[in-house]
Amino acid sequence: MTIQINYKNNGSIKAASNLILFVDEKYNIGPLKKYISKNEFLYISDLLKDNNLKKDLLFFNVSSKKKIFLISIKKDLKVCEIENLGAKFHNHINYEKKEDYFVNTVP
C-alpha cells in the first residue's frame, strides 16, 4: 500500500495555530523552514537535541496558542505501522482536549 500526500499551496501558513509536519526518521527539519518562522525553527532545533529521536511523534508548545507536531515517517512503512501512528496521534489529541476541558471546568 502506498501513501500519497497532497500539498496545498493556497492559504496562509502564518494564520495556523497548530501545525502537523512530517519529517524523516532522523527528524531532519531543514526542509520545513518555509512553513515555520525562524524563531520557531531555532527553538525546535534546540529542543530536538535533547529529545529521544526514536519516538514516532514529538509535540512542541511554541506559544500558548500554537503547537507544532512532528511526525516521523520511516521508509517502507507497513499498513499496520501507519495505523498505529495515526492512533498515537489521535490519542494525544484526545488527551489534550480532555485536559483543556478539566482545566476550564474546575470552579
**Digit-coded pLDDT (tens) for 64-97:** 888 888 888 888 878 888 888 888 888 877 766 5
pLDDT of 11 above 60: no
Position 66 in a domain: yes
* Reduced DSSP (H G I as helix, E B as strand, rest coil) percent helix, strand, coil of the chain, to 5: 40, 15, 40
Domain that holds residue 69: 18-105
Q: What is the CA radius of gyration of the chain?
A: 15
3-state secondary structure labels for all residues of 2-49: CCCCCCCCCCCCCCCCEEEEEECCCCCCHHHHHCCCHHHHHHHHHHHH
**Quick check: 104 pLDDT over 60?**
no
* Residue 13 located in a structural domain: no
Domain-embedded: residue 6: no
pLDDT digits (tens, 9 = 90+) for 41-56: 998 888 888 877 888 8
Residue 35 lies in a domain: yes
pTM beyond 0.75: the answer is no
CA–CA distance, 28 with 83 (Å, rounded to integer): 23
Domain count, the chain: 1
Q: Is the pLDDT of residue 19 over 60?
A: yes
